[in-house]
Structure 1
Amino acid sequence: MSVSDAHTTPYALPKLRQHYRQAAADEAASRRFYELMNAYTERDAVVLAYKAASEAIMAKHTGGLFDKLDRVKSASRQFDHAVQLNPRNPEIRFLRFSIESNLPGFLGASKHVDEDREMLTTTLLQHPKSGLDAESFRVVRDFMLTHEHVRGPQAAQLRQLPE
């Protein structure tokens, strides 16, 4: 894919980030996001993580309990694959963390929360050498602080970092 193609594809990261934010808040947007991501057949690890996130978000809008569980399990397998392809990518870890940290504990599907929280906190504290662009840094930092996934001295450090 050429550089110009990267901005016109529906799978460009800025577009996926926008779809993800909208899908998290709106059922119609989540269905559009799922349809887009379901059509993705390539192997880019970050895009695969967005595909996993779309599957997990659809679990909210699926009818029966077994259908919800199937979607969560499918999303978990997809996240595992994305992490396996690129284990140090903070965006992949953030997507998995943001989904797993919101799942009910009784599902037993939140097994990476502590690992991902630690990786994300360490990455954020390295900013601007974190590997995250300014937008991603802001989104991840704000999520971690707003939902109190980071507290105490580390939270204070994160609040002081420039974007």
Structure 2
Amino acid sequence: MIQPAQLLTALFELHRHQVIFSPRNEQQRRPFSDAFVFAVANRLSPVFNDEWHGAEADPYEDCYKVSSDFINKLLGDLDKTWLEQKPIPTFYEIERSLGREHRMAIIDTLRYSFLNGQFDAPFWSAILQDCPSEAKSITKPFSDSDIYMP
């Protein structure tokens, strides 16, 4: 018998594939923003793109590998630092505060934020001043290689 959690996971995977493989228009653009496609494809809670599910809570929150709580905490702290014009931490400083086991969640969250147009060039330069090689992709233009399909 299929359990509700299994059904929700299956529905999320269908939703994920619909977003990733959505048809492109004549200008080769998807009907979704690059940030939204990146978030859904990489199983991040798309906190900046909640318009797709209306005012209700995101029905797939439990399916994401990176939760809205993690994203909101990390980016909320960085936004506060940036708005108060305090020194922006480097990637390794962020990683030390959250734990090395969260490296990919940090990278994906920062990439999602960049693709969504948040912060300015000096902010991103400060973050990437001291970072692992895999974090260098945070500020690259979006491409289909950003979509991971296991």
- TM class by shorter chain equals 0.3 to 0.5
Structure having the larger proportion of residues in helix: 1
Q: Please give the TM-score of this superposition, normalised by the length of structure 2.
A: 0.34
Q: Please give the TM-score of this superposition, normalised by the length of structure 1.
A: 0.32
Instruction: Specify which structure has the bigger relative contact order, considering alpha-carbon pairs within 8 angstroms and separated by 6 or more residues.
Output: 2
